[in-house]
Amino acid sequence: MSRTLKSIDVDPELYEDFKKLAKSYGMTNKDLFGAMVRYFNATKADPRDPKADNPTDAIKALDKRLIGFIREQEKKILRPLSDDVQVLTKLLQEDVPRKIGQSQIRTISSALKPELLTDRFKAAVAGMNNPQPVPPKPDAARPGTTPPINPNK
């Protein structure tokens, strides 16, 4: 199958610019022309508007907006949620077992659906079922401590 080559009329100055552009990309004139046609077809960019947004700049701007959005969600939603979960976990592991009875702990534990619990939450529930003893605070009755000063004596 034979192909008929076509030519395009262009101003000599523009042709020189075109050759320099092809050379800068390491392409032949024919390859650059084909790449330009494919580029404009793919991007739907208007070649008559050379001041149009550069797609790379548009992507960078969108990337910055997306990162800003993610950071804002992290600040307003994820961190507060994480803090709340940490407080709830601490309550379940430390405070709740000291303040309620074992029968109430079993009731609470049985009400939690296992398939909805994360490993961290399961550990908190296990800690609630097996509370760690709280070390006593130092006081005057223990040897090696200084007794409190009574101002009434």
Which amino acid, 33? F
Q: Can you give the pLDDT at residue 53?
A: 67
pLDDT of residue 120: 72
Q: What pLDDT does 130 receive?
A: 67
Question: How confident is the model at residue 138, as a pLDDT?
Answer: 60
**DSSP 8-state secondary structure symbol assigned to residue 133:** P
Domain spans in the chain, listed from the N-terminal domain onward: 12-52, 67-129
pLDDT at 125: 66
Contacts of 105 (CB under 8 A, 6+ apart): 96, 97, 128, 129
pLDDT, residue 142, reads 54
Please name the residues in contact with 83: beta carbons below 8 A apart, sequence gap of 6 or more.
none
Looking at residue 144, its pLDDT comes to 55
Cα distances (angstroms) measured from residue 133 to each of 95, 104, 122 = 11, 18, 20
Q: Which residues of the chain have pLDDT under 50?
A: 153
pLDDT at 52: 63
**Predicted pLDDT of residue 152:** 52
Give counts: helices (H), strands (E), the chain.
7, 0
